[in-house]
Amino acid sequence: MSALIPAWVDGALVPVEKLEAHRRGLRHKAISVFVLRGNRVLIQRRALTKYHTPGLWANTCCTHPHWGETDLDCAHRRLNEELGIGGLDLAHVGEVEYRADVGGGLIEHELVQVYTALAPAGLAVVPNPSEVVDTDWMTLTALMRKVERSPELFTPWLRIYLSDHLTRIFGPEALDVATL
């Protein structure tokens, strides 16, 4: 049985099993985090055992809050569970809604609370191998170029964030990067 997450059914927010929400394409709550160090963003390659989008590169971390869990608590929990990162000051930078086919008959229809955090010097990143296969610190310019050249290597949501929500996540100066 998968975790119960907040999803909308017939206009009401109710607890639904995560896998069921994805099978039915229900609009549901999610969080996404981007950890930044100077002009670099921490990205992760999803574990090969993930039930959707295995082995694809994604933002620092993303997940769904458990039923009754706050979005901010969820973001902190998941940074620790996936990457062994704790104690960051997360800044809420907005809300994004998207719908994407993630393969295997599953649909992500998410209302996402997006957070950013600045990584302190010496931040240790310790990926949980059941969640994350690899990590990389990439400049936004390099990331956008790589996504443009090989979109199939990246999750649908990361592609959506970069194409449709760049300045909301990374600030107005990100437009300068997008035109390089």
The count of other CB atoms within 10 Å of the CB of residue 98 is 17
Q: How far apart are the first and last CA of the chain?
A: 46
Confirm whether 74 is a catalytic residue. no
Catalytic residue among 61, 62, 82, 108: 62
Interior/surface letters 58-79, b for 16+ CB within 10 angstroms, e for the rest: bbbbbbbbbeebebeebbbbbb
Annotated catalytic residue within 61, 74, 82, 110:
110
Distance CA 105, CA 122 (A): 41
Residues recognised as catalytic:
62, 110
